[in-house]
Amino acid sequence: MTSDDISSPAEVSVAQEETSPQQLYASRVVLTTYPSQHGIEPIPLSWGAQTAAERGPVVVSRQPDSFGKRNAIGAGGGSYCIYRALAVAIGALGPNHRPDFRMTEPTNVIGPFPSWSDPDKIVSMDPWGHAIVEHYSDHLEQGVDIRPTIAITKAHIKLAEIDEAISKGELHCDGDIVSADGELKVVKVASEPVWHIPGVAKRFGISEATLRRALFEDTGGMYPELITRPDLKVFLPPIGGLTVYIFGNPDHISDPTKRLTMRVHDECNGSDVFGSDICTCKPYLIYSIEECAREAQNGGVGVVVYFRKEGRALGEVTKYLVYNARKRQEGGDTAANYFKRTEFVAGVKDMRFQALMPDILHWLGVSRIDRFISMSNMKYEAIVNSGIEIVERVSIPSERMPADSKVEIEAKIADGYFTTGNVPTSEMLENVKGRNWDEIAH
């Protein structure tokens, strides 16, 4: 970023007073475009093509040199596109800033795999999103604004729970996967959503027209081109992405001779970060990290996929409203009414709809999961139905469950979640109760 692109707080204040929309943008506001409009010539994009060159780059930018060449709807950056707009509005970022991609290349090579060119296997991410400089340098040199939607890096993780596992002898320091001071060595992949609209519609068994209309209406009409540009088949939605944590050699993920332990985890800020005991999210996440590290130490590989789907994709506000209703309902917080409270508030008990989730697994080259650290029937069915074999399902050990999480876990088991124990009856669910807010001990 150059000095022209970022300003000091004082300069920002001046920019807020002096900069008009006409100074930042062209004087004419373009609300939408049409397929046959003059100057609109999208760069060809063929989803599921055999190579990156044949597929073509995903171009969503409205910058002057790229506007007429756009072949996608939406905005880059996922949910962070709004913050970019704010940065431009207050003068902290130039509207036509271009990233300097030097030295940003991936730390590890992943793929390509046959699934990358299968239009039915990957519909919610750009399989070539990490390699735009490698494959689309000619377009970049011509001034086309193309942004990565995947980044691959390396890191070390330091967790108090891992230190505790080491002190108990449950995990050992091998100097490779787990360092002498208890740090976990990982490869990390961040991915932002890139939807192939026809593919997403097919995955859910609905028409493309229905999907486009719903996306248009329920985002407040944010993207009119969902309606006016049926020729554009790719959409970058303003939602959260995902992160992959790889323990061990990434090449082992696609190697059928190596064992793979995996967890697919949906974000739970209250538990994962702050340790709330009303659910099993953090204990399950920590348990899966330990199991992934052990698998890597034994010559296999471990993978944790972390999706930004807070509160079953209902959001944290809805989640807390449900918590309130659960604790205040007549008879207290019972497993029998666990899902009912959510449906009363949100209208649906779960909006994660795991049909798109396996895409990242196909991008990684997964064909078999030896140990799947999850009790979720939705995740299991989505993965298996996508053509990936799951050899063993692993539930969270009972001693790791927080006392107040029994309401959640028993309700889920009764609803079809995997368990090696007994499935609770309706009468048993009535007797599983969570503590009140003011109770210190369960």
Residue positions annotated with a catalytic role: 350, 352
Handedness of CA 182, 183, 185, 187 (dihedral sign): positive
Contact call for residues 302 and 291 (beta carbons, < 8 A): yes
* Dist CA 231 CA 290 (whole Å): 47
* Dist CA 273 CA 127 (whole Å): 30
CB atoms within 10 A of CB 377: 16
* Dist CA 63 CA 188 (whole Å): 30
Q: Which residues of 205-236 are buried (b: 16+ CB within 10 A; e: fewer)?
A: eeeeeebbeebbeeeeeebebbbbbeebbbbb
Nearest Cα to Cα of residue 231 among 198, 194, 277 = 198
**Both structure tokens of 213:** 């209309």
The position carrying tokens 């008009």 is: 20
**Both structure tokens of 413:** 């088991």
* Dist CA 201 CA 30 (whole Å): 28
List the beta bridge partners of residue 235: 73, 195
Contact call for residues 72 and 59 (beta carbons, < 8 A): yes
* Dist CA 121 CA 362 (whole Å): 7
In terms of phi and psi (left: phi > 0; alpha: psi -120 to 50; beta: otherwise), the region of 209 is alpha
**Strand ranges across the sheet with 72-74:** 72-74, 234-236, 195-196
* Dist CA 113 CA 344 (whole Å): 44
* Dist CA 70 CA 146 (whole Å): 10
**Cα 349–Cα 235–Cα 112 angle in degrees, nearest 5:** 100
